Amino acid sequence: MDNRHILISGASIAGPALAYWLRRYGFHPTVVERAAAPRDGGQAVDLRGAARDAAERMGILDDIRRAHVGTHGMTYVDSANKPLASTSAELLGDSGGAIAEVEIMRGDLVRILYEATKRDVEYIFDDSIAGVSQHDDGVTVTFERGAQRSFDLVVGADGVHSNVRALQFGAESAFVRHLGYYVSSFSTDNHLDLHGWELMYSEPGKTAGMYPARQNTGTRAVFFFASPPLHYGRHDIAAQKDILAKEFSSAGWEVPRLLDSMWRAPDFYFDTVSQVHMPRWSKGRAVLVGDAAYCPSPMAGVGTSLALVGAYVLAGELAGAGGDHNVAFNRYQDEMRSYVAQGQRLAKGNAIGLVPRSRTRIWFRNQTIRALPYLPWKGLIAGGVQKAANAITLKDYPVHVSAA
């Protein structure tokens, strides 16, 4: 097997999942993560179709099920918390309804993936790649903190603002498309007793919500707002909190209380709602996986699925090609292209429903949800999500299980 020593940037979903499969195929992955430990936080994520299959093949599906969020559905409420429209998990779930769906807090999935790999994979926390120089038989990598090292390949699994992409492919502006919204989420108190229901409140161009986490033992606040691109420091949490507080300063419902808890939240997350579109996900000995290569945006609801499946396919194609990266990277792209395109297409429609830009559109959204059980085309909505989730069938790659 060629190219055994592989450096992966990013220890969230795509990075550890890729490291897991690479180890099973006999490669030696090293994961470098900028944060000091695996990062908690984020919303609940759904695993459907091929992504659930990938998790099952990794042997982590039982762990994921144990950490199941346990949401019954979502209710849109008015400023007095009066229900306006509800949609249950069964209604929009797949053919098996809520039971067949796997929904887990992003942070729990990161922890499960880290636990599944930490004994066999070298993790370097609190560091970042500073430079990558490719040559015929490998890459020389410099780090912000650690000493220079050599690897055979380098993988960017470092998210929508990928460092490897910037170093090897070019500026973010060439690949990242802002969809016109921002997203934020953080832990808060369950002061409304959600009983398994997600609550959402919309004003024109703004939606705030609360949903139960970890079998109703925790609660997360979530915010979406429409906005042109904003300028702020990506690591400047205080500035991001200020932006959110200003955007929602006059909003009703539970928003003042949620914003009050925001200042104390240990796991505040804020980012642009953007997609990544690239003509190619690899360049020589560098390749991208997950959000770094094809972020579908939080509106699509399939970012984690694309990351898990992308990791499975990339590692499998490398193993299948005996480590030949030129062959493997081409096959990875061919195999994933249509699945990625279908996932990315989900974002626009979801955004219109989640963050309507006028009172009329909010009313129309609520009426549509109320009528949903009676609409003949209700199956089309669930069907669209299911079609995207199953737009790829996982191949069986040869497992070498080599320790060499």
Ligand X SMILES: Cc1cc2nc3c(=O)[nH]c(=O)nc-3n(C[C@H](O)[C@H](O)[C@H](O)COP(=O)(O)OP(=O)(O)OC[C@H]3O[C@@H](n4cnc5c(N)ncnc54)[C@H](O)[C@@H]3O)c2cc1C
Contact 45, 137 (CB under 8 A): no
Contact 325, 153 (CB under 8 A): yes
Point out which span in 32-40, 248-256, 328-336, 347-355 binds ligand X (CB under 6 A).
32-40
Among 29, 49, 298, 356, binds ligand X (CB under 6 A): 298
Residue 14: CB minimum distance to ligand X, A: 4
Single out the residue of 301, 213, 204, 228 nearest to residue 265, CA to CA.
213
Site for ligand X in 180-199 (CB under 6 A): 183, 185
Residue 9: CB minimum distance to ligand X, A: 5
Residues making up the chain, counted from first to last? 404
Output phi, psi for 139, to 5 deg. -130, 140
303 part of the interface to ligand X, by CB under 6 A: yes
304 part of the interface to ligand X, by CB under 6 A: yes
307 part of the interface to ligand X, by CB under 6 A: yes
168 part of the interface to ligand X, by CB under 6 A: no
Residue 212's beta-bridge partner residues? 219
Q: Could you tell me the CA-to-CA distances from 8 to 56, 139, 289, 309 in Å, in that order?
A: 23, 12, 10, 16
Point out which span in 6-14, 191-199, 275-283, 356-364 binds ligand X (CB under 6 A).
6-14
Kindly determine how many residues on this chain lie close enough to bind ligand X according to the rule CB under 6 A: 30
344 part of the interface to ligand X, by CB under 6 A: no
43 part of the interface to ligand X, by CB under 6 A: yes
Q: 351: exposed, middle or buried (C-beta count within 10 Å: 0-12, 13-18, 19+)?
A: buried
146 part of the interface to ligand X, by CB under 6 A: no
Site for ligand X in 345-384 (CB under 6 A): none
Angle of helix 14-24 relative to helix 49-58, nearest 10 degrees, comes to 50
State which H helix or E strand residue 172 sits in: none
33 part of the interface to ligand X, by CB under 6 A: yes
Residue 390: CB minimum distance to ligand X, A: 19
Q: Which is nearer to ligand X, 137 or 267 (CB)?
A: 267
Q: 88: exposed, middle or buried (C-beta count within 10 Å: 0-12, 13-18, 19+)?
A: middle
64 part of the interface to ligand X, by CB under 6 A: no
10 part of the interface to ligand X, by CB under 6 A: yes
Output phi, psi for 287, to 5 deg. -145, 155
Binding residues for ligand X, per CB under 6 A? Answer: 9-15, 32-35, 39, 41-43, 106, 128, 157-159, 163, 183, 185, 269, 290-291, 298, 303-304, 307
